[in-house]
Amino acid sequence: MVTPVFCLRLAAIAAAISIPVVSHAADIRVMCYQDGIECTVTAELAKKFEAANPGTKVIIDVVPYKTIVEQLPVQLAAGQGPDIARVTDLGGLSKHYMDISAHVKDRAYWEANFGGTLPWLRPSATDRGIYGFMSQLTMTGPYVNKTLFEQAKIPMPGPKATWDEWVEATRKVSKATQTQAALAWDRSGHRFAGPAISYGAKILDAKGELVLDEGYKTAINKFVGWHKDGAMLKEVWGGSGGSSYADSIGEFKNGRVAMVLSGSWQINRLQKDIGNAFDWVAVPNPCGPAACTGIPGGAAWVALKTSKSPKEVGMFLDFLAQEANYAEFTSRTENIPAHAGLAKKGVPYPTATAGARAALATFSAGVANLAPAAYQFQGYRFNRALMLPTVTRVTQAIVGEMSTDEAMIKIAADMADAVKQAQK
């Protein structure tokens, strides 16, 4: 029966439902992935920003790296997406970036401190917009298990040692210490490109288009050969299909290999996870006949066109880019700064262990040895058209589905197809 009490209850429920959700003048959604504590530190900086800008709420959505790589591009293409994202496909997503130059306090500050990397985010060479900034610089490079070398009583090759010398040395270490394999590389075309350039690959021709040459072929032959003779751990590349990414750092942390090819972004993770289990060092990129290079890169905070709060987005990025905030982020996340002023002054890493500090110094010093082709490749818009088929086809050569010559032909065909489709 409908009683007055029931009516009152119904009215109370209806009133509760209709109370508007408290909203802010502007909510900024940030899609963030982290190798270490990048999103955590950003969230803490965001609190300071919110305190200085009442009415603006910054929501940090921490997502796996795979989401940034696979889902964000689809969301953006569909006109959906966050206001800001932390991305690594710098040029590939540039058409979705929003110019925030009208909302930054001091354009000259940005040009002076991020001038070297701002073009990486611009959709064309003539563009002068500010779309975001590099949250850190990274460089691909190897880590070595020093303890295993000491146990095997094998001297570590010097700073100008070749890949062949490192493979031989780690092979001896692996044999003496009974590790699963001598070394492993991340399953990534980006990582593969460093040794390929060292072996003489040009990657881009005079017209700025992708090219496969003898240098690239030599690198594939070497790499596949090292898998066949057991020097390389087969599971990282041979354990997957397609072009999916697989890192080798887990194998390194578990002491299954004496050396891995990964990158500077792993320092924090290594420091935290390995602790005192064994001593590890970052070593300069081994040499080939043409160079001793890794590949530069990094992650960038970018403003996205999907944002409905461009002013607040610009203000927040401007806030993060300020020297004090950038220094806090770099120092706590133990990354290499992309901020020219800070790079000159030097960043303190108070929480880093001696090993981590040494590794950061090795990678920072390695920036000077990067080959010009490595920079060009990083800035090339369709670099994934080479990276991804390389992973797929080289894996097929490793597991014996095709020869390295056939892999080269297939990479060239896949690359041409992908670039043609991307240009349509």
Partner 1 sequence: MHWLTRLMGIFFNLFEPLFRLGQRVLGVSRIGWLFVAPNLMVFGLFTFLPILINFVYAATGGVKLMPFERPFTGVENFGILFECRNYFDIQTCRKDVFWRAIFNTAKFSVIQVVLMVGFSLVTALVLNRKIIGRGFWRGVFFYPVLLSPVVVALIWKWLLQSQGVFNAALVATGNEPIGWLTDAGWAFFWTVFVSIWAHMGFYTLILLAGLQAIPKDMYEAAEMDAASPWRTLRRITLPLLMPNLIVVLVLAMIRAVQIFDEVFVLTGGGPGSATTFIVQFIYQTGFAEQIHLYGLAAAASLVLALGLMLLTFVQLRLTKASEAGQRAR
Binding site for partner 1 (CB under 8 A): 1-2, 6, 69-70, 73-74, 77-78, 89, 92, 180, 234-235, 238-244, 246, 254, 256, 382, 384-385, 388, 392, 395-396, 398-402, 406, 410, 413, 417-418, 421-422, 424
Our CB check for partner 1 shows the closer of 70 and 205 to be: 70
Our CB check for partner 1 shows the closer of 92 and 225 to be: 92
Token digits of residue 345: 């002054």
Our CB check for partner 1 shows the closer of 58 and 231 to be: 231
CB of 398 to partner 1, least distance (A): 7
CB of 395 to partner 1, least distance (A): 5
CB of 77 to partner 1, least distance (A): 3
Q: What is the DSSP string of 12-70?
A: HHHHHHHSPPP--SEEEEEEE--SSSHHHHHHHHHHHHHHHSTTEEEEEEE--HHIIII
> Nearest to residue 198, comparing CAs of 287, 297, 263?
287
Strands (E), 78-168: 84-87, 132-145
Our CB check for partner 1 shows the closer of 6 and 116 to be: 6
Q: How far apart are CA 144 and CA 123, in angstroms?
A: 38
Token digits of residue 333: 């996340």
Our CB check for partner 1 shows the closer of 189 and 195 to be: 189
Q: Which amino acid is at 412?
A: A
Our CB check for partner 1 shows the closer of 123 and 238 to be: 238
CB of 67 to partner 1, least distance (A): 12
CB of 370 to partner 1, least distance (A): 23
> Nearest to residue 258, comparing CAs of 280, 284, 228?
280
CB of 412 to partner 1, least distance (A): 12
Our CB check for partner 1 shows the closer of 290 and 412 to be: 412
Q: Which helix (DSSP H) or strand (DSSP E) does residue 281 occupy?
A: strand 280-282
> Nearest to residue 84, comparing CAs of 63, 113, 114?
63
Our CB check for partner 1 shows the closer of 224 and 359 to be: 224
Our CB check for partner 1 shows the closer of 172 and 410 to be: 410
CB of 240 to partner 1, least distance (A): 4
Q: Are 141 and 261 in contact (CB under 8 A)?
A: yes
Q: Which helix (DSSP H) or strand (DSSP E) does residue 77 occupy?
A: helix 72-77
CB of 414 to partner 1, least distance (A): 9
Our CB check for partner 1 shows the closer of 332 and 384 to be: 384
DSSP 71: I
Q: How far is CA 224 from the centre of its chain?
A: 25
CB of 263 to partner 1, least distance (A): 18
Q: Which helix (DSSP H) or strand (DSSP E) does residue 303 occupy?
A: strand 296-303
Which residue, chain included where needed, has tokens 């800035």? 379
**Beta-bridge partner residues of 61:** 31
Q: How far apart are CA 66 and CA 84, in angstroms?
A: 17
CB of 422 to partner 1, least distance (A): 5
The phi-psi region of residue 346 (left if phi > 0; otherwise alpha if psi is between -120 and 50; otherwise beta) is: left
